[in-house]
Amino acid sequence: MDEEKNRSTILLGVGGGVAAFKAVQLTSSLNQAGFAIHVAMSPAAQKFVTPLSFEAVSNRPVLTVVFPSNPDDNPESVYPHLYPATRADIFILAPATADLIGKIAHGLGNEIVSASALSLPSRCQRFFCPAMNVEMWHQPTVQKNVATLESLGWKRIGPDEGHLACGVVGEGRMTEPERIFEIVLHSQTATGRLDKKRILILSGPTIEPIDPVRFISNHSSGKMGKALAQGAVAAGAHVEFITGPVPDENLPCHDDITISHVTTADSMLAAAQKKYAKADVIIFVAAVADYRPSETNDTKTAKPTELFTLTLTKTPDIAAILNSSKRKNQISIGFALETDGEARAKARKKLVAKNLDAIILNGTDSFGANTGEFTWINGSCDETETHWGKLEKVKCAQNVIQLVSKLLEETE
């Protein structure tokens, strides 16, 4: 429980259909995004995919029965249909079979998935992803049950049209895991709306070449920038995303995210200068190299027999340069990575020097990781600090987006 207190809890109910294999990928994506993901499998689902597959990608035991054969004294073991259901922030039924849709619509709970659905708190967001034969999908009774769930606040995702496992072509395919993941992620920023706002995010590392082979850089993975971009579009914004070199899996993907790839600090500054004026919010999360070689060789530098001296020049302070022309109604947020006892003082100096409205302090533990230790530090008008502690980067991004939306409201 303690490690999940700062994470949104998702309970995924897996129904008995061929599409159950897609739920494994969905579970993995949600886990990697930082959600506390739990899985409950109906008896029929276990005929298609083993619980072990879900345990491997969720890092948690899978719920398979209402009455465990050997429960311990822990209430969560005795009542698996209540825990984690009663503390779930999100419930996803995928695949949602005709059988499970009917049970839940009529308040029946004779196995772990439907029983868990009956135990959800009122605040829990509910999604269902139908998957079945096209004729089953169009049955009036099934459509009536679907309408009942929707009238109760359940959000339907799909089904899609295409080739079905039974050999026919038509409506009934479960929506692809990537799309389900995107919709669920979008649902998490309801309290911080950025509708029609333009967000400029600078992300990832920069690399400063020494020669065609060697360069100066750092360990930035781009994961924090990705989380911020996804959180911003989830809140309704359009994102201009400028990134240094990172793996493809650390890049955000959405129709409302425009990605510009750069390498050096100079190229990142040049790209940002073209987009800065139109941005409502600018988030500086990029780990820009502080120095670059004074001279760059066109050919590989020969290995010297003695000591090698490399003369360095400071790279441009991108945030300070851009924010020198910041408008009153623009919001500018920075990140500061510090390693010593003067971390907060140094972060505050950067906040003032770079003309930021707020800065997020973090440490080296966040490099390449899905988590980090984060502290929100407000600007000069309100010098309060909020120590968030160790958070998943997705949760940190949600916090940032919500606070940014409040800052925007104050400027309007």
| Secondary structure class of 243 (helix, strand, coil) | strand
pLDDT of 115 higher than 90: yes
> Is pLDDT of 151 > 90?
no
Tell me the per-residue pLDDT of 318-370, one tens digit each, with 9 for 90 and over: 999 999 999 999 999 999 998 887 888 999 999 999 999 999 999 888 888 88
Q: Cβ neighbours of residue 159 under 8 Å, at least 6 residues apart?
A: 129, 130, 131, 132, 137, 171, 172, 173, 174, 175
- The widest CA-to-CA distance across the chain, in whole angstroms, is 83
Instruction: Return the pLDDT at 2.
Output: 44
Position 169 scores a pLDDT of 76
Higher pLDDT, 303 or 222: 222
Share of the chain above pLDDT 70, in %: 94
382 falls in which pLDDT band (50, 70, 90)? low
**What mean pLDDT comes out for the span 269-286?**
97
pLDDT digit string, tens, across residues 242-259 = 999 999 989 988 878 999
Mean pLDDT across the stretch 305-312?
A: 86
Q: Which pLDDT value is given to residue 229?
A: 92
Q: What is the pLDDT of residue 114?
A: 96
Q: Is 311 a residue whose pLDDT tops 80?
A: yes
* Cβ neighbour number for residue 160 with a 10 Å cutoff: 15
**Sign of the torsion angle spanned by Cα atoms 138, 140, 142, 145:** positive
Token pair in block for residue 352: 């003032």
Q: What is the pLDDT of residue 306?
A: 81
> CB neighbours (10 Å) of residue 350?
20
In the chain, what is the straight-line distance between the N-terminal and C-terminal CA atoms, in Å?
A: 40
**What's the pLDDT at 75?**
67
Element (H, E) at 125: strand 125-130
Confidence (pLDDT) at 76: 73
In 3-state terms, the chain is what percent helix, strand and coil (to 5)? 35, 25, 40
Q: How far apart are CA 47 and CA 304, in angstroms?
A: 64
Mean pLDDT of all residues in 374-401: 84
Work out the pLDDT band at 50, boundaries 50, 70, 90: very high
Crossing angle (nearest 10°) for helices 140-151 and 98-105: 50
74 pLDDT above the threshold of 80:
no
Cis previous bond, 159, omega within 30: yes
* CB-count exposure of residue 325 (10 Å: 0-12, 13-18, 19+): exposed
Number of Cβ within a 10 Å radius of residue 341: 8
What's the confidence (pLDDT) of residue 188? 63
User: What is d(CA 150, CA 145) in angstroms, rounded to the nearest whole number?
Assistant: 9
Beta bridge partners of 110: none
User: Lowest mean pLDDT: which of 5-9, 22-26, 202-206, 330-334?
Assistant: 5-9
Q: For 196-220, how does the pLDDT look when each residue is reduced to its tens digit (9 = 90+)?
A: 899 999 999 999 999 999 999 999 9
154 touches 125 (CB < 8 A): no
Read off the pLDDT of residues 81-108 as tens digits, 9 standing for 90 and up: 888 999 999 999 999 999 999 999 999 9
pLDDT tens digit sequence for 313-323: 999 999 999 99
Please, which residues have CB within 8 angstroms of residue 334's CB and are 6 or more apart in sequence?
Answer: 283, 284, 319, 350, 351, 354, 356, 358, 359, 360
The C-alpha angle with vertex 136 and arms to 132 and 138, in degrees rounded to 5, equals: 110
Per-residue pLDDT tens digits for 168-192: 777 889 999 999 998 887 776 544 5
Tokens linked to 174: 């479960």
Whether 236 shows a pLDDT value over 70: the answer reads yes
What per-residue confidence (pLDDT) applies to 61? 93
Mean pLDDT in the chain? 89
Write the single-letter amino acid at 290. D
Burial of 373 (0-12, 13-18, 19+ CB in 10 A): middle
More confident residue, 129 or 168: 129
Catalytically annotated residues:
166
In which region does residue 197 sit, left (phi positive, over 0), alpha (psi from -120 to 50) or beta (all else)? beta
